[in-house]
Amino acid sequence: MTDHDSGASGALGLAGHLTRAFLKSPLTPLFLIASLAVGLIALAALPREEEPQISVPLVDIHVQADGLRAGDAVKLVTEPLETIVKGIDEVEHVYSETRDDVVMVTARFNVGVSSDTAILRVRDRILANLGRIPVGIPEPLIVGRGINDVAIVALTLSPADGQTAVTPADLTRVARELEARLAAIKDVGLTYVIGGTEPQLRVNPDPARLALYGITLQQLWGKIEGANTALPLGTLREGGRQVGLVVGETLTTSEEIGNLELTARDGRTVYLRDVAEVTLETDTDVDYVSTVGHGPDGIESRPAVTLALAKRAGANAVVVAEEILHRVEAMEGDTIPSSITVEITRDYGETADEKANELLFHLGLATLSIVVLVLFAIGWREAIVVAIVIPVTILLTLFAAWIMGYTLNRVSLFALIFSIGILVDDAIVVIENIARHWAMKHAGQSRFGATVAAVAEVGNPTIVATLTVVVALLPMLFVSGLMGPYMSPIPANASAAMIFSFFVAVIITPWLMLRIAGRAPLHPGAEHGAAGGALGRLYAAVARPLLARKSVSALFLLAVAVLSFGSLAALYTRDVTVKLLPFDNKSELSVVIDLPEGSALETTAAVAQQVARVALTLPEAISAQTHAGTASAFNFNGLVRHYYLRQLPEMGDVQINLAPKGDRDRTSHQIALDLREKLAALELPEGTVLKTVEPPPGPPVISTLMAEVYGPDAESRRRVAERVRAAFDEIPYVVDVDDSYGVQAPRRRVGLDPSALDFYKVQESDALDTLSLLYGSGTVGYSHRGGERRPIPIVLSRDRSDRVMDATALSTPVPADALPGGRGVVELGDVVTLQDELTSFPIFRHNGLETIMVMGEMAGDFESPLYGMLAAADILDGLDWPEGQKPSISMHGQPQDTSSPSILWDGEWEVTWVTFRDMGAAFAVALLGIYILVVAQFGSFRLPLVILTPVPLTFLGIIVGHWLFGAPFSAPSMIGFIALAGIIVRNSILLVDFIRHAQPDKPLDVETLIEAGATRFKPILLTALAAMIGAAVILMDPIFQGLAISLLFGLLTSTALTVLVIPAIYRLAKT
């Protein structure tokens, strides 16, 4: 091959050699086809999810510490368990909550640890240290929850219109049948029923009648248990055969139980129905669940049961959800009778598919826009090349994402949309330079040779420029904490896209150019390519006055520096705020209800109904599900906040389903603000706290604004916490304020009188059993009905409304048979004493230190916890504190010394601190890496400083852009800023390289600077416009708007200034 065919032999570099090798190779089209094939396979195979799956294993250790006050339980149970758990590998935090009689210790593992691994480690360590748990404390119950336990589909069953005869038990029966059938679907994971109630045969003893006949509760229990016995005894020999022998038969009806005969203490026979009411209960009052919606007569409430279904790890949420709903549709009219309706109250498969399709559309729109840009800027043939190159690069990137284990979610797709503008940069630079070289018409050089020479000319700076973008992005892959894995698809996929884009640009792009435009005449204006054309002339007209005199260049640089760095003052004046992530726009909201400790379940249910009816006055609300004494199907936010443990009577929530985003004008955040105002007007029981909860846009936290109060003792901590809460209440944009210590609920302690027990010959165990049966609930056995129907439990339990301690209850007979042969009974009131008291305050601990949490949400003028923290700190600083009681305030890290009060800001601020700290470190590493790359390329230690100079020029555009849109500077904004460093430096490298090689044999003068800028202005402008187009299509996204603003406005100002600032620096230093 001759020189006129190959270009400048010997100066080709890696890019030129690759182009020359593949330009006429038969492998090139095969490589193109293979790239498309593997990319399409990856697109079909990649699991679709709405959000990245962040593994944050939480393992709860539950211990029943009967009889222990909270303070005693901490010493005997909590502290030993915390010590055991803290030593487990990869445990990041240990939390504990200790109440009277109950202890829960939670181990939170590092992000990314497998949930199964976490549970096994905790279980093995606890079992290995059971000897450290005090005698009398039962073995702990270990419960693990992870991201794969979050339900992707929730089906709410309720009676159809007019079907008032349908009971919660009927709904539960159908839900159980659905659960059994749907669990058989491939990749369906955890399933559970919310609000389910099983029919039961309930025996409700009457203390007065028991006293009349002298029948004890133990006697009642024993009679039912004995009569309900059925068991095999062995075999009989009969007629030369073996016949099985079975004794007894379970009770099947309330009449059978009521007809059981008891022997009174005086020898009389008494039927069980004479001392207890036996009924078949179809609805228990353990919890209340209902669905509230718009009916023909207004807002209607109906009983409901919800079936929640999760998927297995790595499964495609879209496929699993579609299969679940397809099976449900097929069962309507059969398993699901016409008297029951099924409402889909959660479908994360649909939302994931909707989001993926929306972003894929934006991806196509960005591609089309860039193709149109190239069409008008260079030519239609070059536009065809770009139209092929972009999909090839994107599909290769999807294949890389599949190999790396990522899913197709909003973040990974945003990474592609974000990178589409920069991955086409290499192709545009190559295409534009090829077109320019073809226009230069060197004597004796064919278009083949000109193509190789064009690629070789920009090859080395293109390699360095590509690597600078990769170096800028990759350090973000090592951001720690919850935001690390959430944002990791961006640096991983964008870096892969950049690497693929280089090889596509130097292998496929020249091949396509030669095949599509190789024999075509030059398009109009191409003959001016060497001078930059019309854009070059425009550039020269602007640059010449700035470069005419050194004094003008110096003033220009000074003005640019003042504007760029001065724009940062908007952060101080709060014209631009700082926030981790903006609010998302979801189709669900919830209201969490906390009544004072000790509130009745019925009161909680009534408040939930009030909230639901207020919510349904919103035009966007479709329906609402109320929960009292239980929790709705938890999402990722509920997983972290432990909503699934909210099972107490004073706890409830309302799940609100909104119209799809396309059918409403307001965002879910705007709706939440409106709902919060409406709820404030409700008349609620004193001490009730309502929290309007939005699904977080990223990693969830316990509370947006949270102060952890530490101190030497509980009383001093509560005093400080009360003042912190009061400070929160004073701040207008801090709402839903709550604390972790609550109020002390009243309770009654029943004591056993030792002298009375001895006098009446009553054993302590008999007195305790009587109390347990009188005020508790116990399952005696099961009634087996046959016909493949679920057995019905036989329960000895008084009605909830009857569980009072009055004279009638205290007349309940207690066996007085401590002595052999004793058959007497005495009244319960003769052997017990009563004393009213208050429960202990709950004790919360974080990593071994006792703390009180004061929590709040942000809404209004400022929605970032930073501003709530600053306002609260100012209020606290202005208070009069007793000597030694003023708390110190820490922004990060627990106090080492708790001998004096202190406050640690936690919640969303902790994630914000870690994220921006790590991103700052990533930015520093990126700058160092870029500096090293440029030193290696140019062999100079000072020149890289010139190339890095335009990086601060992005400040002006970024800050102005955020101010114009009223958007906070967020983590995505920071990602955009870091990526901009690579993009801007890339443009600087191309410009500086051209300046250095423009006239290597002559001294540098102003005209050379202007010519270099004019020549490179067009490709720099085109690549910047391409990146801006990629950013523009995501400008309206609620989460990634900050990234789009940073790229769009940062590129707008920095590109315009870079092509002037670098020549101005050369003007001062080199001419």
Tell me if residue 689 falls in helix, strand or coil: strand
| Window from 411-425, 468-482, 705-719, 966-980 with minimum mean pLDDT | 411-425
176 and 128, same domain (yes or no)? no
In this predicted model, what pLDDT tens digit does every residue of 1003-1015 receive, in sequence order?
777 888 888 888 8
Q: What is the CATH number of the domain that holds 220?
A: 3.30.2090.10
462 and 529, same domain (yes or no)? yes
Q: From the CB of residue 29, how many other CB atoms can be counted at a distance below 10 Å?
A: 13
In this predicted model, what pLDDT tens digit does every residue of 724-747 receive, in sequence order?
999 999 999 999 999 998 888 888
Domain boundary among 675, 699, 723: 699
Report if residue 538 sits inside a domain.
Answer: yes
- Bridge partners (DSSP) of residue 76 are none
Q: What is the DSSP letter of 886?
A: P
Average pLDDT over residues 916-941: 88
28 and 98, same domain (yes or no)? no
478 and 528, same domain (yes or no)? yes
In this predicted model, what pLDDT tens digit does every residue of 781-829 receive, in sequence order?
998 877 777 888 999 998 888 888 889 999 999 998 866 766 788 999 9
The per-residue pLDDT for 302 is 93
Rounded Cα gap, residues 800 and 788, in angstroms: 31
In this predicted model, what pLDDT tens digit does every residue of 180-200 receive, in sequence order?
999 999 999 999 999 988 888
Q: What is the DSSP letter of 780?
A: E
Rounded Cα gap, residues 512 and 500, in angstroms: 16
In this predicted model, what pLDDT tens digit does every residue of 648-703 receive, in sequence order?
999 999 999 999 988 999 999 999 999 999 999 999 999 899 999 998 877 788 99
**Domain count within the chain:** 4
442 and 328, same domain (yes or no)? no
434 and 560, same domain (yes or no)? yes
Report if residue 980 sits inside a domain.
Answer: yes
Rounded Cα gap, residues 860 and 872, in angstroms: 16
Strand 305-311 vs strand 151-159: parallel, antiparallel, or unpaired? antiparallel
In this predicted model, what pLDDT tens digit does every residue of 474-498 receive, in sequence order?
888 888 888 888 888 889 988 898 8
413 and 518, same domain (yes or no)? yes
Report if residue 767 sits inside a domain.
Answer: no
**pLDDT tier for residue 768 given thresholds of 50, 70 and 90:** very high
- Bridge partners (DSSP) of residue 749 are 835
**pLDDT tier for residue 854 given thresholds of 50, 70 and 90:** very high
Rounded Cα gap, residues 835 and 828, in angstroms: 15
Q: Which residue has the tokens 């000319």?
A: 457
Rounded Cα gap, residues 589 and 693, in angstroms: 6
Q: Are 732 and 673 in contact (CB under 8 A)?
A: no
Report if residue 824 sits inside a domain.
Answer: no
Rg (CA), the chain: 37
Question: Taking Cα atoms as reference points, which of 1046, 1049, 1039 lies closest to residue 358?
Answer: 1039
Q: Are 1060 and 950 in contact (CB under 8 A)?
A: no
Considering the chain, what percentage of its residues have pLDDT values greater than 90? 49
Rounded Cα gap, residues 638 and 856, in angstroms: 16
Q: What is the CATH number of the domain that holds 170?
A: 3.30.70.1320
Domain boundary among 664, 699, 734: 699
Rounded Cα gap, residues 520 and 522, in angstroms: 6
Rounded Cα gap, residues 514 and 518, in angstroms: 4
pLDDT at 5 exceeding the cut of 50: no
517 and 392, same domain (yes or no)? yes
The per-residue pLDDT for 532 is 62
Q: Which residue has the tokens 């509560």?
A: 718
Q: Which residue has the tokens 């009449």?
A: 255
Report if residue 292 sits inside a domain.
Answer: yes
DSSP calls for 374-424: HHHHT-HHHHHHHHHHHHHHHHHHHHHHHHHT--B-HHHHHHHHHHHHHHH
Write b or e for each residue in 2-25: b if 16 or more Cβ atoms lie within 10 A of its Cβ, otherwise e: eeebbbebeebbebbbbbbebbee
Q: Where are the alpha helices (DSSP H) in 999-1040?
A: 1006-1032
Q: Are 845 and 95 in contact (CB under 8 A)?
A: yes
- Bridge partners (DSSP) of residue 292 are 301, 624
- Bridge partners (DSSP) of residue 851 are 844
292 and 275, same domain (yes or no)? no
Q: What is the CATH number of the domain that holds 958?
A: 1.20.1640.10
998 and 973, same domain (yes or no)? yes
Question: Taking Cα atoms as reference points, which of 376, 331, 320, 379 lies closest to residue 353?
Answer: 320
Rounded Cα gap, residues 397 and 517, in angstroms: 27
How high does pLDDT run on average in the chain?
88
Report if residue 342 sits inside a domain.
Answer: yes
Q: Are 459 and 509 in contact (CB under 8 A)?
A: no
Q: From the CB of residue 807, how many other CB atoms can be counted at a distance below 10 Å?
A: 10
Rounded Cα gap, residues 866 and 872, in angstroms: 10
Report if residue 721 sits inside a domain.
Answer: no
Report if residue 136 sits inside a domain.
Answer: yes
Q: Which run of H or E residues covers position 752?
A: strand 746-752
Domain boundary among 246, 281, 316: 281
575 and 437, same domain (yes or no)? yes
pLDDT at 531 exceeding the cut of 60: no
Range of the domain at 222: 203-281
Tell me if residue 270 falls in helix, strand or coil: strand
Question: Taking Cα atoms as reference points, which of 599, 590, 655 lies closest to residue 629?
Answer: 599
33 and 66, same domain (yes or no)? no
Q: Which residue has the tokens 């009446």?
A: 760
pLDDT at 465 exceeding the cut of 80: no
Q: Which run of H or E residues covers position 124?
A: helix 115-128
